[in-house]
Amino acid sequence: MTKRFLAFLLLLNVATLPAQSTFDDDYRFPEGIYLSHDALLAAEPDLEWEAIDGEMVQLPEDFRVQIANYGYNDVRINAEILPYAISLDGQAYFFTRKDERRRFHEFSGLRVMGALSTMRYDTVIHTRQLMKAYNPANGRPFRQAYVDLEKKMTLNKILHLRSGALYPFSRATLLRLCARDEELVTALRSADPQDETLLLRALRLYDDRHPVTLPIK
């Protein structure tokens, strides 16, 4: 009787486990707000859409979502907590920047989905540059001052799905992340490091050979 009861419990436990699916371009996440990478891997959003406030603009052609005046409707949630990612129409968009001046949060979507995923997004770099005014008579500077400048830069990244780490999209990164695939490493070593199309093909091949299933608890 005891053995039968234990077997029944085992079968019941297996039956209640969430179905796993291969994480690829067809994968769909449950809708909502994710506050950590672990929550995303578990496919369990921390908050529903009703829990946040703001005006959303979706830019699917740029793999971007912007939410103006992002905030939480529940006063028990710390307003300083930043979202990790959101899922809209089943697609994951990762929080990449907060524009303080225009008061919006920006989220960037994955362009390739797999064990090694890719994303591209803009960031703003703040720099200081010494500006000089020259005397036209003798060509000498007579006034100088530092000026604060903003420069927009596009970042191309590889997301290591299991760890959540972001790496530069480069041959050096792929050689490190694909180290256990000797055949692919050999091909990458002879590849042009500036050939982004070839590097992307290698990344997709790695994903095909090393699939990941979600959710991961």
Q: Are 157 and 120 in contact (CB under 8 A)?
A: yes
pLDDT in the model for residue 126: 63
* Three-state DSSP class for residue 64: strand
Q: What is the band of 10 on the pLDDT scale with cuts at 50, 70, 90? A: very low
Residue 1, both tokens: 């009787």
CA distance 10 to 170: 46
- Global pTM reads 0.81
One-character DSSP codes across 92-159: EEEEEEEETTTTEEEEEEEEE-SSEEEEEEEEEEEEEEEEEEE-TTT--EEEEEEEEEEEEEEEEEEE
**What φ, ψ does residue 137 adopt, rounded to 5°?**
-75, -40
Taking 70 as the threshold, does the pLDDT of residue 2 lie above it?
Answer: no
pLDDT in the model for residue 9: 41
Q: Are 149 and 126 in contact (CB under 8 A)?
A: yes
Within 8 A by CB and 6+ apart from 13, the residues are: none
At 154-185, the pLDDT tens digits run 999 999 999 999 999 999 999 999 999 999 99
Q: Are 51 and 73 in contact (CB under 8 A)?
A: yes
* Structural domain spans, the chain: 18-214
CA distance 50 to 180: 43
Instruction: Calculate the dihedral angle through the C-alpha atoms of 181, 208, 111, 177, rounding to the nearest 10 degrees.
Output: -10
